[in-house]
Structure 1
Amino acid sequence: MHADIHLELHRLRAADLRAAADLRATAAHSPPRLPPRTPLRAHVGWALVALGLRLAVPATARPRPALTA
């Protein structure tokens, strides 16, 4: 391969790498596209966590409330 062809291929590859790096840099500085959290969403989320914890612990390991009659 001639030296001038090798040099031109190197320049093209370097330009491609720079363009890809610029694209990644601009994507890294863009704000996240997640929906904003609302109090209702947080409340439902914590309710699901509490339900999951209740389901994860066996019924025999949970203390039973005392009956007062």
Structure 2
Amino acid sequence: MHPETHLALHHLRAATLRAEADEHRLAASARAPRALRTRLGWTLVEVGLRLASASPAAARTAIALP
């Protein structure tokens, strides 16, 4: 293969890979807030379940402390 042809193909492939990497970065950054929102939601569910299943005496103690 002629060196100039090889170099042109290399540049084309490198540009394609850079574009794919940029697309991947954009997609990953768009997913991050959703993952954080999901984690926060499940944490709130867990706290709610713990409060709902706490014994009445423990709930009164927890409320009276502050």
TM-score, normalised to structure 2's length?
0.52
Structure 1: which 5+ runs fail to align? 48-69
Q: 1:16 aligns with which of 17, 20, 33?
A: 20
CA RMSD of aligned residues (A): 2.5
1:32 maps to what in 2?
37
Alignment size in residue pairs: 45
Mapped to 2, the partners of 1:42 and 1:24 lie a distance apart of 33
* Superposed displacement of residue 20, structure 1: 0.5
The separation in 1 between residues aligned to 2:26 and 2:20, in whole angstroms, is 10
Q: Identical aligned pairs, as a percentage?
A: 9
Deviates further, 27-36 or 3-12: 27-36
The structure, 1 or 2, with the larger RCO (C-alpha pairs under 8 Å, 6+ apart) is: 2
| Runs ≥4 residues deviating over 4 A | none
Of Structure 1 and Structure 2, the greater helix share is in 2
Gaps in structure 2 of 5+ consecutive residues: 56-66
**Matched residue type, 1:11:** A
